[in-house]
Structure 1
Amino acid sequence: MEISTTLSEQPVDDARLAEILANPGFGTHFTDHMFTVEWTPEKGWHDARITPYGPLSMDPATAVLHYAQETFEGMKAYRQPDGSVATFRPEANAQRMVLSSQRLAFPELPVEDFVQAVDALVEVDQRWVPEAAGEKSLYLRPFMIATEVFLGVRPSQHVTFMVIASPAGAYFKGGIKPVSLWLTEEYTRAGRGGMGAAKTGGNYASSLVAQQEATAHGCDQVVFLDGQEGTYIEELGGMNMYFVYEDGRIVTPETGTILEGITRSSVIELAEGLGHKVEERKISIDEWREGVASGAITEIFACGTAAVITPVGSLKWDGGEADSVTGDEGGELTMRIRQALVDIQYGRAEDTHGWMHRIG
Structure 2
Amino acid sequence: MPGSENRTVTGWRKASRFYRRPPGFGWLLALLAIPLLLALIGQGMADRSKLDINGPNVAAPSLSVPSVNLPGLSPAPLSILRNGNVITLNGELPDISVRTGLLDMLKGVYGSGVELVDNLIIKPGVSAPDLATLGTLFKASVSMPDFKFKIEGDTVTLIGTATSGAVKSAVEAAARAAWPNLKLSNNILVLPDVAQAPSATESPKSPAPASPAPSASAAPSPAGDCANLQADINALMSTPVTFVTNGYTLSTATQQQLSRVAEKVKGCHSAHLAVSGYTDNTGNDAINIPLSASRATSVAEFLVAHGVPAASVTSKGYGSADPVASNAKPDGRAQNRRVAITIS
- After TM superposition, is the score higher than 0.5? no
More strand by share: 1
The structure, 1 or 2, with the larger RCO (C-alpha pairs under 8 Å, 6+ apart) is 1
The answer to which structure has the higher helix fraction is 2
TM, length-normalised to structure 2: 0.24
